Amino acid sequence: MEYKVFLIKYAEIGVKGKNRHLFEDALVRQMNYALEPVGDFRMRKESGRIFAEAESDFDFDEAVEALKTVFGISGICPIMVGEKTDLKDLRRLAAEYVGQEYEKKDFSFKAFVRRADKRFPGTSAELAAEIGEAVLMEYPDLTVDVHNPQVKLTVEIRDHIYIYSREIPGPGGMPVGTNGRAMLLLSGGIDSPVAGYMIAKRGVSIDAVYFHAPPYTSERAKQKVVDLASQVAHYSGPINLHIINFTDIQLAIYEKCPHDELTIIMRRYMMKLAEHFAVEQNCLGLITGESIGQVASQTMQSLFVTDHATGMPVYRPCIGLDKNEIIAISEKIGTYETSVLPYEDCCTIFVAKHPVTKPRLNVIERSEKKLKDCIDDLMREAIETVEVVKIHAHQ
């Protein structure tokens, strides 16, 4: 007897009425994507639940880890599958399952039976009693508690006998692809991959922009962002990463605008470029990793000024988190180690010693007028020379 099947439970999507099949389809699609490198699995939808049945050999832990990246899953139940023969075998299987699954046999339980194959003799209630008795005979320290059992031992009789009781928590959230698409401003830092992850968790598909500034940033810095995008893609599915050459815009700002406003003006042009590609990809919003007050460009005043650069909603899921809380998420999703690799990114190359922390929109807009002779051409150039890379979780 071995695990061949997972029962996938989902929470929020169960309540979505007529749209439910859309949510289920998205969930199945994401499960297929996550399980692709693990083995061949067949997905079966059935009355509010999904079964993932292995059709090839696979590693159990690897499969569970993969399923834990699929938003929308609330619980993963590994199911033992046994040959369906007769009552005697059913009793034996149930006892065997308890023997293997639990080290200490001193808990209370209740047996549930679903008799999908109605040809199997006995009613569900009768079979539940049989199973309870069989397990108790084998492990006399167990107790039956029909009201508050510690373990719910579920047996389903289908083409085979399915037994499960354990539920591994899933990541929650909603299946990616059920809530539109947004454009993530991905830097090489800790925050932006976390922001992408958090928005993807609500079912949003993700695309990304990265601002590359050669020769101030290196090929390694670019590869780092590709790697981060790939790690986010484990949760969000494939990402179209737009690599934008930002050097000339940055140098123009550097030459023409007040130096202490450099970062905030740069952020505004980043927003405008991100918005351009967001519209192109049918995105409904921008995502950034900003958190109030973390750096000069993330004060309330700065965020206000940055927001005015775009007409799109800007989603900032890290906005209320402290750095250590963001780090904790990045460690959980596996992006932290990549994020802290020491390659220069374009935000750090020309940073002023004392950047403005309370920029005013009219002042910044006036400074930007100094770019009017060149900025349209430079923006066009940046848009035309974009490099788009499709990033997958499993490269």
Partner 1 sequence: MSEIYFDNGATTRPFPEVRAIMAQVLDEDYGNPSSMHKKGFQAERYVTGAREIIARSLKVSPKEIFFTSGGTEANNLALLGSALAGRRQRKHIITSCIEHASVYNPLSFLEDEGFEVTYLPVNEKGLISLEDLQAALREDTLLVSVMCVNNEIGAVEPVEEIGRLVKAFDPAILFHTDCIQAYGKMDCRPKAWKADLLSVSGHKIHGPKGIGFLYIKEGTRIKPVLWGGNQEKGMRSGTENVPGIVGMGKAAQIIYQDHEEKVASIRKVKDHFISRVMKEVDQVRDNSGQAPHVASISFPGVRSEVLLHALEDKDIFVSAGSACSSNKPAVSGTLKGIGLTKDYYESTLRFSFSVYNTVEEADLCVEALKELLPVLRRFRRR
Residues engaged in binding partner 1 (CB under 8 A):
214-218, 251, 254-255, 259, 342-344, 348-353
Minimum distance from CB of 49 to partner 1 (Å)? Answer: 48
Residues sharing a CB contact under 8 Å with residue 185, sequence separation 6 or more, in sequence order: 192, 208, 209, 270, 271, 274, 286, 287, 288, 289
Give the residue carrying structure tokens 């990304």.
208
Give the residue carrying structure tokens 């130096």.
259
What CA–CA distance (Å, rounded) separates 201 from 98?
35
Minimum distance from CB of 261 to partner 1 (Å)? Answer: 13
User: What single-letter amino acid sits at 109?
Assistant: F
Q: Is the C-alpha dihedral spanning 143, 144, 148, 153 positive or negative?
A: positive
Minimum distance from CB of 222 to partner 1 (Å)? Answer: 11
Minimum distance from CB of 254 to partner 1 (Å)? Answer: 6
Please identify, using beta-carbon distances, which residue of 179 and 335 lies nearer to partner 1.
Answer: 335
Minimum distance from CB of 251 to partner 1 (Å)? Answer: 6
Please identify, using beta-carbon distances, which residue of 154 and 330 lies nearer to partner 1.
Answer: 330
Please identify, using beta-carbon distances, which residue of 310 and 330 lies nearer to partner 1.
Answer: 330
- The candidate with the shortest Cα–Cα distance to 15, out of 74, 91, 90, is 74
Residues sharing a CB contact under 8 Å with residue 89, sequence separation 6 or more, in sequence order: 82, 83, 161
Please identify, using beta-carbon distances, which residue of 165 and 192 lies nearer to partner 1.
Answer: 192
Please identify, using beta-carbon distances, which residue of 182 and 221 lies nearer to partner 1.
Answer: 221
Minimum distance from CB of 389 to partner 1 (Å)? Answer: 20
Q: CB–CB of 239/205 below 8 Å?
A: no
What CA–CA distance (Å, rounded) separates 362 from 369?
11
Minimum distance from CB of 143 to partner 1 (Å)? Answer: 58
Please identify, using beta-carbon distances, which residue of 106 and 219 lies nearer to partner 1.
Answer: 219
Please identify, using beta-carbon distances, which residue of 107 and 216 lies nearer to partner 1.
Answer: 216
